[in-house]
Amino acid sequence: MEISANTKINDLLKEFPFLLDFFIAQSPAFKKLKHASLRKTVGKVATLKMAASIGQVDLDRLISGIAGAVEAETGESLTVLETASGPAPDDKERQVLLKGIIEDLQKGEDIEVLKTRFKKVLGNVDASEIAQAEQQLINDGLPPEELKRLCDVHVEVFKDALEAQDRPEPPPGHPLHTYMKENRASEKIMSDIQILIGRLGLPPDAPNFARHRDDLGGLIDRLAGIDIHYTRKENQLLPLLESHHFTGPSQVMWAIHDDIRAEIKKAKQQFAASDPGGTATALKEAVSMIRDMVFKEEHILFPASLDMLSESEWVKAKEGEADIGYAWDKPDTGWPEVITEKVEPLQRDAPVSAAGVMGLDTGALMHDQINLLLTNLQSDLTYVDENDRVAYYVTG
């Protein structure tokens, strides 16, 4: 495993739970990590650089101490990236660096060279940063069709970092939960197709094709149901992102959807013509493209959408889903009713619950969560009350 100033606290504790005791031993400020809710929320975005600032400990000593603790406990040697010894890039610098890597891909720079550069300079990156870098390239004049051509290549460069992050876990009934449920169904269909293609022989021959024709035709028809998944995404999710001036996903993904539709249509045509080789080739291409799209959805589009859209916008997305329909299965029940049940009791006329939860206009947070959130602001903040008294301050 690699470690740098940008490594997330949650990623470390998930991989090495025993590090919780190590952190607490470094500074009393880290005792808050005992709260599971904080680890699952703030811990997912808090980096070692931020932790060092909060705990008032030296960053390099913290990182080397973590590496030593892991080696002593497990025998594993962590790779300390170069960013550990210098200041981590801020958000603007990271965007410039990401944009530069994608631009160099466009110029034909070697993928392995860029992978190495990416790991040294950035260490890790989240889905929203990649999506924003793509959007900035489009804003700067890069044609969407050119970004579409580069999409598979630059995802390959960032794949290790993206795979290391958790996929979204939306509640049952949430639009993203339904999309991901459909992705799991599509993966089952694609696996069945790949098994059946193997039974056609190498190369596929007419007798085997005839023997498995009915099963293959049924699977092709089922795979074509992916069109409903894409149509709902195009009409319910992507327009909401466009309303935030986030047009890149619409321009790129819509085009890829059409390519997938065309490949499935080709498979149907080759199947109708009883062409074993042509059918197998078209299906392999369609399956490969759909699997790539599943990765892009669940590691880039969906996490970025969760960061960008409000609860009311997700409700709006859900309201129009049934008119379009669902691929293969109906959505689960639960959301948004479960959200309403949790939030309604926490109104401002009863600001703090018995469990120590404070009701806010758009959600609810515990006292420790609010404190940790404010103390991690990357700027100075001062609040002066009605008596002209400084009631609260924090330095970024």
Domain boundaries, the chain: 2-85, 91-163, 175-324, 357-394
Please give the Cα distance from 376 to 373 (Å, whole number). Answer: 5
Is the dihedral angle over the CA atoms 390, 393, 395, 396 positive or is it negative?
A: negative
Tell me what pLDDT residue 387 has: 55
More confident of the two residues 387 and 239: 239
Nearest to 131 by CA among 245, 227, 289, 48: 245
Amino acid present at 90: D
Q: How confident is the model at residue 342 (pLDDT cuts 50, 70, 90)?
A: very low
Q: How confident is the model at residue 209 (pLDDT cuts 50, 70, 90)?
A: very high
Cis peptide before 249 (omega within 30 of 0): no
Q: Do residues 121 and 86 make contact, with C-beta atoms less than 8 angstroms apart?
A: no
Lowest mean pLDDT among 82-86, 117-121, 171-175: 82-86
Q: Do residues 6 and 123 make contact, with C-beta atoms less than 8 angstroms apart?
A: yes
User: Is 150 a residue whose pLDDT tops 70?
Assistant: no
Composition of the chain by helix, strand, coil, percent to 5 = 65, 5, 25
Highest mean pLDDT among 35-44, 177-186, 303-312, 345-354: 177-186
Q: How confident is the model at residue 48 (pLDDT cuts 50, 70, 90)?
A: confident
Amino acid present at 177: H
Given the candidates 1.10.3910.10, 1.10.150.120, 3.90.1150.10, 3.40.50.1820, the CATH classification of the domain at 2-85 is: 1.10.3910.10
In this structure, which long-range contacts are made by residues 71-79, counting pairs with CB atoms below 8 Å and at least 24 apart in sequence?
A: 73/16, 73/18, 74/16, 76/1, 78/1, 78/2, 78/3, 79/1, 79/2, 79/3
Residue 342 token pair: 């949790």
CATH dotted code for 175-324 = 1.20.120.520
Residue 302 token pair: 């969906």
Note the pTM of the prediction, 2 decimals: 0.56
Q: How confident is the model at residue 83 (pLDDT cuts 50, 70, 90)?
A: very low
For 381, the enclosing helix (H) or strand (E) is strand 381-384
Instruction: Show the CA angle centred on residue 232, arms to residues 227 and 235, nearest 5°.
Output: 120
Please give the Cα distance from 257 to 229 (Å, whole number). Answer: 10
Q: CB within 8 A of 21, min separation 6: which ones?
A: none
Lowest mean pLDDT among 55-59, 316-320, 348-352, 380-384: 348-352
